[in-house]
A and B are shown apart, each in its own frame.
Chain A
Amino acid sequence: MTDTGFVDVKNVVKLFGQGSAAVRALDDVSVSIRQGEFFTLLGPSGCGKTTLLRLIAGFEGPSMGQIKLDGADITNTPPNLRPINTVFQNYALFPHLTVAQNIAFGLEMLGRPKSEITATVARMLAMVKLETLANRKTAQLSGGQQQRVALARALAPQPKVLLLDEPLSALDFKLRKEMQTELKRLQLETGITFIFVTHDQEEALTMSDRIAVMSAGKIQQIGAPRDIYTRPVNRFVADFIGDINILPAKVHAGCAQILGVDFALDFQGPAREVSIAIRPEQLRLMPKGSKDSLPATVTRSVYFGTDSHIHMTLQDGSEMVARLQTDATQDNNLANGTEIAISFAPNALQVLED
């Protein structure tokens, strides 16, 4: 976080309201986004991710802190002077203009010559595959088409940074998947830095180069999707991204003791009580009484097609879920009440700092 990035947010605080009634929407947030990166702000609603995006766009100013773009301080630059464009959650297309006029709007405001505008609009229309709809009014378009117009309109002025505020949330499942691929393609094609806001962890994992997980106005963890998923730093991140089992444990050098059984753990430092996180797919189910394992009883098996979820109770009553990949040769479903034993894949145990 100390390295100088392309977009640098430094110790930003954003308060809404006055005095003691003020709400801290952003609480000392610092993040450094690299050039050409697909960066995602991920978190539940009300975590401050949209506020952070609006500060970068310039629609609101921070109460404290600084925002830099490409080395220049833009903290107090009005939005129309920032080389940053936004794809709005509701698209905010201009209803009185055609598709082509919407896309041309930014270029016209920048005073670009007519010939350049015409050429760029044609290129943008081709890029989002809307050539045939150039002269339609935007109200006549479907949600997916409006989404493409919003993208083309924001990309046409070739901004240094493109902000996307939950742009896919209004689309149905299939269209959303398509647009995810499309967005990633556009980002690679244009090389523009994308800052993407979403509450959908799967969307974040599949599209991003790096993710910042936010909660309660603070950044909880920044990292590549793989880091965030396999090495969550605290209970919030572990819980928010994917399914997870959390167990209390005593850790000391190289070892974690869970319910009286020792498991190998890459851990240094003094012994202490911690929470251990384990992804459901990292659980290994073994016959009852196996060595170095926790005894458990199956309470429920749910078949999901590609995998099955096995719900179990441990001796102390805590619940765990294992995810077993479907194997054509063998039935994973276990009868309720079956007594088995649980072990873990190597490096599956993750110590949470909460």
Chain B
Amino acid sequence: MQSSRRAWLLSAPALIVLFVAAVGPLLIVFVYSFLTPGKYGNVEWVFSTNGWFGTLFTRDIFDDTVHLADAHLTIFWRSVKLALETTVLTFLIGYPTAWIIATRSANIRNVLLFLITIPFWTNLLIRTFAINQIIRKEGLLNTTLLDLGLITKPLEIIYTDFAVFVGMAYVYLPLMVLPLYAAIDRFDMRLLEAGYDLYATRWQVLRRIILPITQPGIVAGSILVFIPALGAYVTPRILGGGKNMMIGNYIELLFGQGRDWPLGAALSMILMVIVTVALLFYVRAASKGASHG
């Protein structure tokens, strides 16, 4: 009795933080998604399913016919696609990077890992503006290329999907490299010789031995990149110029100028469901991976 009460007391601070920081706000968002939008933002305490209805459908204001809200689907699809592309690109760059780091001597390895973590020291906004400065029309990249005579007019990179893509890959690369490094560091390099000895080519050693054994790191890195990339707000805003909206930007818009908090809340919940599904996939794949670790 005594000990169980003490256990509750001891875990109380953690439980309070968890409730205040995670469960509480989530509940508020959930409740708001079933209310009626106020005229100047906020909500009126009148139950309504219009927020949820609005995530998928729009009602024509003249004849009341119901259409699929294809704008929302487009935004969702664009966000998922960008998050997937970012995950793939960070993997393609991150895997060789992590391999190189993990196969260096201890001293060089520490220096390289330190370099990987440096971006975390600077605010995301500032780093994104730095990229903006490099790739904008009169930016470092264009002026250098113009001065060298390699191009005759500035490249249109800023405010394109490509700019957002590059910016996202830059921001999330460390999140991919670190779990990959951890997995490759644990990889027994003697297995490479065992593979070659058993007639495997380099490609077969990569596909049949290295990738399956480091799979837990690949899954962890992919999830760590995919989840935040799905809800990215700063990077698409600053490098995409708000031309092609991502789901994060759209939700911000609804809570701001759009003044439709219930719809914003409902879209947030849907985004969370997508993230949860991705997490479930992660837990399953990781536990499968752990059984042969």
Query: Measuring CB to CB, which residues of chain A are less than 8 angstroms from any residue of chain B?
Result: 57-59, 78-81, 84-86, 88, 90, 92-96, 105-106, 109-110, 137, 139, 153-154, 157
Contact = CB atoms under 8 A, between A and B. Distances in A.
Contact of A88 (B194, B212, B291): B194
A153 B193 CA distance: 14
A304 B14 CA distance: 66
B197 interface: yes
A95 B293 contact: yes
A86 B292 contact: no
B209 to A, nearest CB: 6
A96 B292 CA distance: 5
Looking at B190, B197, B213, B293, the one whose CB has the most chain A CB atoms below 10 A away is B197
Contacts of A157: 198-199
B194 A79 contact: no
B196 A92 contact: no
Contact of A109 (B190, B193, B204, B212): B204
Given A90-B190, A92-B190, A106 B198 contact: yes
A107 to B, nearest CB: 9
Nearest to B190: A92
A90 B291 CA distance: 21
B44 to A, nearest CB: 57
A147 B53 CA distance: 64
B201 interface: yes
B271 interface: no
Interface string B31-61: 0000000000000000000000000000000
Chain B's interface size range is 20 to 34
B188 interface: yes
Contact of A92 (B194, B199, B204, B212): B194
Q: Which 5 A-B pairs have the closest CB atoms?
A: A106-B198, A92-B194, A109-B199, A79-B196, A96-B292
Contacts of B292: 95-96, 137, 139
A93 B213 CA distance: 12
Interface in B191-213: 191, 193-201, 204, 208-209, 212-213
A79 B291 CA distance: 31
A139 B213 CA distance: 13
B51 to A, nearest CB: 47
Contacts of A137: 291-292
Contacts of A79: 193, 196-197
B195 to A, nearest CB: 8
B199 A59 contact: no
A79 B198 CA distance: 8
Given A92-B188, A92-B190, A109 B213 contact: no
B213 A96 contact: yes
A85 B197 contact: yes
A277 B212 CA distance: 57
Contacts of B198: 80, 85, 105-106, 109, 153-154, 157
Contacts of B199: 80-81, 106, 109-110, 157
Given A93-B194, A94-B213, A95-B292, 11 more contacts: A78-B196, A80-B198, A80-B199, A85-B197, A86-B197, A94-B209, A95-B293, A96-B212, A96-B215, A109-B201, A157-B198
B190 A88 contact: yes
A132 to B, nearest CB: 20
A223 B200 CA distance: 36
A58 B192 CA distance: 13
Interface in B157-204: 188, 190-191, 193-201, 204
B191 A59 contact: no
A85 B209 CA distance: 17
B193 A94 contact: no
Nearest to B291: A137
A168 B93 CA distance: 42
A80 B196 contact: yes
A92 B191 contact: yes
Nearest to A57: B197
24 contacts: A57-B193, A58-B196, A59-B196, A79-B193, A80-B198, A86-B193, A86-B194, A86-B197, A88-B193, A90-B190, A92-B188, A92-B194, A93-B194, A94-B194, A96-B212, A96-B215, A96-B292, A105-B195, A105-B208, A106-B198, A109-B201, A109-B204, A137-B291, A154-B197
A162 B20 CA distance: 65
Contacts of A139: 292
Interface string B259-293: 00000000000000000000000000000000111
A96 B187 CA distance: 11
Contacts of B209: 94, 96
B154 to A, nearest CB: 49
Contacts of B195: 105
A80 B201 contact: yes
Contacts of A154: 197-198
A295 B188 CA distance: 60
A79 to B, nearest CB: 4
A157 B197 CA distance: 11
A85 B291 CA distance: 28
B200 A80 contact: yes
Interface string B204-229: 10001100110100000000000000
A86 B213 CA distance: 21
Looking at B190, B198, B199, B208, the one whose CB has the most chain A CB atoms below 10 A away is B198
A80 B195 CA distance: 8
Contacts of B188: 92, 95
A110 B208 CA distance: 14
Contacts of B194: 86, 88, 92-94
B193 A59 contact: yes
A90 B191 CA distance: 10
Given A80-B199, A109-B204, A95 B213 contact: yes
